[in-house]
Structure 1
Amino acid sequence: MGNAKSSAMSKEILEDLKLTTKFSQNELSQWYENFQKQCPSGRISPEEFENIYTRFFPDSDAKTYAQHVFRSFDTNDDGTLDFKEYIIALHMTSGGRTERKLEWAFSLFDVDKNGYITKSEVTEICQAIFKLIPKDEVSKLPKDENTPEKRAEKLWSFFNKKDNERLAEGEFIQGVMENDSALRLIQYEPVK
């Protein structure tokens, strides 16, 4: 990102983010200013990211899920998030088209980053999602999705794959878009 101590973001990054996100120049400048205050080094560590998630899910164990989300956002695999990665992550998870969100969800489930999802990876992410769900809400879940394993089994069944088969990104996106239950199972929305 160039000089991390700089108080203004580079024009190149600004123009790139204006093209790839829904945020205005003013919004991006405000986000950048806040980012610089929170992360003077210009980077977010995995621990700082986990702390952010913990504040969003105070009644849950968000650490494991935060680790997976961090991995999916760290596009250059350097172990930190810079401002650009952070803003793109924010854009993909808070707005944008459903297909873009599902592209991100695929990267979340693709734990080993090999371009495919396996049933064991689905189970691993479902276990992390389950830790976000407060105990009193778990008891209200349908019987066929009241454990991480049952949730993973139900989700995997929507893709018509055998337990030992892999799922490509296009198949994942199509399978989730064609089934509202699958969309609900790949995430956790707190009860309001």
Structure 2
Amino acid sequence: MGHHKSKLSPEELTAIVNSTEFTEAEIRQWYKSFLKDCPSGILSKKEFKRYCSGFFSSGDPTDYAERAFRSFDTNQNGTIDFREFMCALSVTARGTFDQKLKWAFRMYDRDNDGHVTKSEMEEMIKAIYKLIGDRRIQEVLPNRLTAQQRADQIFSKMDKDGDENITLEEFKIAVSQDPSLVLLFQDEKETPSNEEPKIKEESGAM
């Protein structure tokens, strides 16, 4: 892979500032770090999964990273460029609760059809269980439910009209009543302004 340009153009910088909650200085700092880990300026799915593995060392992030990558890759071309990366990071790290809920919903909605089916719910919960690891699962969810039992419980809470599909509105209502349904998406930690950001630390913490 060839090397990407070392600086963002003024137009690119302005576009990212207008699309995120980051300042110009922060974006430049992130760009420097992004190029250090991705000299091509493009983050592949394989690289993304490797970064997630480095962050979630106690569990297996493979399935979760697959879904997260799809959410980052907004133009669905199989790679994540810097602008896509920053837009996604802005939501997960500094977005409003509503923005985070929409992000979480997209993670559950695997085929992006605007509805979450029971099978999609089961797949996502199993991915979260694998991501966290057995030990922390018992700390976060002390009732010792299996991934299948937890998925069934969540789906029944959300599917108020019983049509076997969860809409974004149903999702929002359920989460407002039980925030633990998307607890991973709320546990964000921003990089202190005096530290250089590390892609592998931030991109995994969704």
Q: TM-score, normalised by structure 2?
A: 0.81
Query: Which amino acid is 2:105 matched to?
Result: F
Q: Identity of counterpart residues, as a percentage?
A: 38
* 1:24-63 matches, cutoff 5 A: 24-63=23-62
SS in 2 for 1:5: coil
Distance in 1 of aligned mates of 2:19 and 2:164: 33
Distance in 1 of aligned mates of 2:80 and 2:167: 26
Residue number in structure 1 paired with 2:84? 85
Give the Å deviation of 1:47: 0.9
Distance in 1 of aligned mates of 2:128 and 2:6: 37
Pick closer, same or farther for the CA change 1:126–1:5 going to 2, 3 Å: same
User: 1:129 touches 1:187 (CA, 8 Å); kept in 2?
Assistant: no
Give the Å deviation of 1:161: 3.9
User: 1:133 touches 1:188 (CA, 8 Å); kept in 2?
Assistant: no
Q: What stretches of structure 2 of length at least 5 have no aligned partner?
A: 188-206
Pick closer, same or farther for the CA change 1:36–1:138 going to 2, 3 Å: closer
Give the Å deviation of 1:135: 2.2
Pick closer, same or farther for the CA change 1:103–1:69 going to 2, 3 Å: same
Residue number in structure 1 paired with 2:159? 160
Distance in 1 of aligned mates of 2:186 and 2:54: 16
Residue number in structure 2 paired with 1:108? 107
SS in 2 for 1:31: helix
User: 2:158 touches 2:174 (CA, 8 Å); kept in 1?
Assistant: yes
SS in 1 for 2:75: coil
Query: Which amino acid is 2:82 matched to?
Result: F
Give the Å deviation of 1:148: 1.0
Q: What stretches of structure 1 of length at least 5 have no aligned partner?
A: none
Residue number in structure 2 paired with 1:11? 10
- CA offsets 1:48-79 (integer angstroms, 9 cap, x no match): 10111111111211111111100111111111
Residue number in structure 1 paired with 2:142? 142
SS in 2 for 1:158: helix
SS in 2 for 1:47: helix
Question: Which is bigger in relative contact order (C-alpha 8 A, separation at least 6)?
Answer: 2
User: 2:92 touches 2:185 (CA, 8 Å); kept in 1?
Assistant: no
Pick closer, same or farther for the CA change 1:133–1:154 going to 2, 3 Å: same
SS in 2 for 1:58: coil
